[in-house]
């Protein structure tokens, strides 16, 4: 992070949609299954590593070094909250099905589509008015930017509002920003907690800023995949069958 305040406490004072979309270390969530509740009776996400007071570390329940499952944790140390049913009755999720619907299109997307069209038509006042409708809904301040700054604000607003709704791939290609977005490497957060002087560890562990000093380190995750982008991917290749049917067709650049 460039902002030292954010780096020291990255989960404080965020856009409310962050808390609605993401499960992060220390976030409150549903009760654990019956065979896990003794390890985490506080219903908190544990994706970090915590001082045990004896020179060792307690591996968080939700890490890939978990005392429950040492293979099933998130590699980025973040988990999805958006679209996941918060009903405590579904905590085991073995025989019940969640009832959160998947939106193929929703009002906020329609509004943001209109905002983008307004920006492209030079109607910046109209764009700001309608973008602010989505922001005011979640308690965010008004957008006041203009020109390139307004477009940048819109791109970020759409990224946040429509997160995990399968828009980003198409948006990045439409805006021609894929090298810095879709081609960006995967990163993860490494969270560690050290006991404050004179403090004793919580047993079982629970997130507590008055007892622990937390450190957040962003790391590159290259063990599973290395993403890359080449500009020919802005287009799709015309299938060989179609090329054979019509010899006047010209293949898209990079697929010749």
- pLDDT digit string, tens, across residues 20-29: 999 999 999 9
Q: Are 58 and 52 in contact (CB under 8 A)?
A: yes
pLDDT score at 70: 86
Q: Are 74 and 22 in contact (CB under 8 A)?
A: no
pTM, entire model: 0.90
Q: Are 36 and 44 in contact (CB under 8 A)?
A: no
Averaged pLDDT, 164-177: 97
| pLDDT at residue 1 is higher than 70 | no
Average predicted confidence (pLDDT) for the chain: 94
| pLDDT at residue 165 is higher than 90 | yes
Q: Within 13 A of 246's CA, how many CA atoms are on the CB side?
A: 7
**pLDDT digits 0-9 by tens, 172-202:** 999 999 999 999 999 999 999 999 999 999 9
Q: Are 127 and 154 in contact (CB under 8 A)?
A: yes
How many other C-beta atoms can be found within 10 angstroms of the C-beta atom of residue 121?
A: 10
* Both tokens assigned to 52: 């045990």
User: What SS3 state is found at 214?
Assistant: strand
Q: Which of 186, 165, 158, 182 is nearest to 234 (CA)?
A: 182
Averaged pLDDT, 4-15: 93
pLDDT score at 229: 95
Q: How far is CA 38 from CA 29, 42, 67, in A?
A: 15, 9, 12
Running DSSP on this structure, what letter comes out for residue 12?
S
Residue 95 pLDDT grade (very low, low, confident, very high; cuts 50, 70, 90): low
Averaged pLDDT, 201-221: 97
pLDDT score at 93: 55
Q: Are 178 and 229 in contact (CB under 8 A)?
A: yes
* Both tokens assigned to 256: 């010749």
DSSP class per residue in 73-88: S-SSS-EE-TT----G
pLDDT score at 110: 98
**pLDDT digits 0-9 by tens, 105-121:** 999 999 999 999 999 99
pLDDT score at 10: 96
Residue 100 pLDDT grade (very low, low, confident, very high; cuts 50, 70, 90): confident
pLDDT score at 75: 93
Q: How far is it, in rounded angstroms, from Cα 68 to Cα 70?
A: 7
* Both tokens assigned to 34: 């019956």
Q: Residue 24 CA to chain centroid, in angstroms?
A: 10
**pLDDT digits 0-9 by tens, 30-63:** 999 888 999 999 999 999 999 999 999 999 999 9
Return left, alpha or beta for 227; rule: phi > 0 is left, psi -120 to 50 is alpha, else beta.
beta
Q: How far is it, in rounded angstroms, from Cα 45 to Cα 32?
A: 10
* Both tokens assigned to 89: 């009755």
pLDDT score at 90: 78
Q: Percentage of the chain with pLDDT > 70?
A: 97
Q: How far is it, in rounded angstroms, from Cα 197 to Cα 211?
A: 9
């Amino acid at each position: 992070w460039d902002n030292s305040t954010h780096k020291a406490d990255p989960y404080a004072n965020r856009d409310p949609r962050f808390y609605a979309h993401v499960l992060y270390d220390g976030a409150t969530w549903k009760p654990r299954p019956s065979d896990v509740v003794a390890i985490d009776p506080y219903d908190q996400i544990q994706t970090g590593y915590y001082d045990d007071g004896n020179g060792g570390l307690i591996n968080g329940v939700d890490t890939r070094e978990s005392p429950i499952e040492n293979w099933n944790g998130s590699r980025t140390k973040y988990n999805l909250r958006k679209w996941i049913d918060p009903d405590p009755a579904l905590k085991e999720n073995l025989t019940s099905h969640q009832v959160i619907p998947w939106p193929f299109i929703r009002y906020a997307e329609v509004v943001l589509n209109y905002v983008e069209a307004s920006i492209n038509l030079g109607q910046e006042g109209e764009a700001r008015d309608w973008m602010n409708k989505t922001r005011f809904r979640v308690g965010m301040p008004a957008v006041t930017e203009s020109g390139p700054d307004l477009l940048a604000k819109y791109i970020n607003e759409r990224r946040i509002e429509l997160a995990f709704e399968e828009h980003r791939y198409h948006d990045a290609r439409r805006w021609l920003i894929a090298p810095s977005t879709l081609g960006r490497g995967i990163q993860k957060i490494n969270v560690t907690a050290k006991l404050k002087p004179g403090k004793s560890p919580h047993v079982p562990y629970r997130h507590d800023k008055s007892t622990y000093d937390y450190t957040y380190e962003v790391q590159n995750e290259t063990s599973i995949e290395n993403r890359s982008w080449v500009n020919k991917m802005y287009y799709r290749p015309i299938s060989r069958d179609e090329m054979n049917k019509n010899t006047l067709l010209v293949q898209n650049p990079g697929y010749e």
